[in-house]
């Protein structure tokens, strides 16, 4: 599965790091949601249609909330991209606070839906859902972080004035 996910993640990262226009964001989110649902369906199998139906209803609700948080994260990245060459203490603090709040919101979303899914599909299936979800999110974040410059990196790459 990891071999399949890498190209999906690479596409997302290249799109996210190249130029984060609203059209790019919408395209990535729609493609990621569709591909992600297919991945989730291949990973999670259910023995009965009632459990399957209940899971997918919760999953759709989860995705609606997750996509908003993903959009917020992309907006934070865009804000960083727009400001990293002139970053000051105030802006750096603002970005860290927003990013941390986004991470906490995602973790809270995981637990919210784990608690909703566990009585419906069992702890094992709910755990599988969270495991794949966390893997996808962490893979995407790692690739994005590999593509964005570190604070002050621009200064280190400039040739010194003679």
Torsion of CA 94, 98, 99, 104, to 10 degrees: 140
Cβ-based neighbours of 95, under 8 Å, separated by 6 or more:
76, 79, 80, 83
For residue 23, pLDDT over 50 is answered with no
Note the pLDDT tens digit of each residue in 37-81: 888 888 899 999 999 999 999 999 999 999 999 999 999 999 998
Q: In the prediction, which pLDDT does 151 show?
A: 82
Task: Report helix, strand or coil for 21.
Answer: coil
Note the pLDDT tens digit of each residue in 103-160: 999 999 999 999 999 999 999 999 999 999 998 888 878 878 888 888 877 555 556 6
CA distance 64 to 20: 21
- pLDDT-derived band at 9 (thresholds 50, 70, 90) equals very low
Q: In the prediction, which pLDDT does 123 show?
A: 97
Note the pLDDT tens digit of each residue in 80-95: 989 988 999 999 999 9
Q: In the prediction, which pLDDT does 135 show?
A: 87
Q: Is the pTM of this model over 0.85?
A: no
Q: In the prediction, which pLDDT does 162 show?
A: 58
């Amino acid at each position: 599965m990891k071999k399949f996910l890498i190209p999906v993640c690479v596409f997302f990262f290249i799109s996210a790091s190249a130029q984060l226009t609203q059209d790019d964001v919408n395209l990535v989110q729609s493609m990621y949601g569709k591909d992600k649902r297919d991945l989730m369906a291949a990973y999670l199998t259910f023995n009965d249609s009632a459990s399957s139906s209940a899971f997918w209803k919760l999953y759709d609700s989860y995705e609606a909330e997750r996509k908003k948080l993903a959009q917020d994260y992309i907006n934070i990245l865009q804000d960083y991209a727009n400001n990293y060459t002139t970053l000051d203490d105030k802006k750096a603090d603002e970005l860290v606070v927003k990013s941390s709040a986004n991470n906490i919101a995602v973790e809270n979303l995981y637990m919210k839906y784990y608690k909703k899914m566990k009585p419906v599909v069992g702890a094992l299936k709910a755990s599988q859902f969270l495991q794949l979800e966390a893997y996808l999110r962490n893979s995407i974040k790692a690739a994005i972080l590999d593509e964005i410059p570190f604070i002050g990196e621009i200064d280190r790459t400039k040739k010194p004035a003679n």
